[in-house]
Amino acid sequence: MVSIQHIYFGDHQSFDDFEFESIDYFVLTVNLLLGNEQGSNIFYFDVTNDYRPSSDRIMIKNYDIYFRKKAIFVMKSFDKYILLNFINALIEEKSIDKTESEIPHSLSNYFYWEFDNYVP
């Protein structure tokens, strides 16, 4: 199972140290190091509060976090603990019946991945 090894925000503040000052509009970059004992992958995405009912849709029941398009999620009000729980739920849901090598590809539909567009 893949899990969050490290999460930090755009200016490299750790999750525990991050304090978000409430403002009317925000875009926040979130960086994830996901992996297991065999290695890890880097993913990142943006969170904004710019809710658009025509394009934003709920991804997982019981979370007021919307998916707009790859690497853009919407929270009407920011809460880092809700975001963390949502990310864990999304990883778990998108890892069902996937091998270790398939999981990063599955998650890359929702997050930017360090190996997006990689050509050997």
What's the pLDDT score for residue 100?
A: 83
Alpha-carbon distances, residue 39 vs 5, 90, 112 (angstroms):
10, 20, 18
What number is the average pLDDT over the span 27-46? 83
> Tens of pLDDT along 66-112?
999 999 999 988 899 999 999 999 999 999 999 888 999 999 999 99
Q: What pTM did the predictor assign?
A: 0.86
Domain boundaries, the chain: 3-113
Share of the chain above pLDDT 90, in %: 46
Contact 43, 70 (CB under 8 A): no
For residues 1-23, give the mean pLDDT: 80
Q: Quick one: what percent of the chain has pLDDT higher than 70?
A: 94
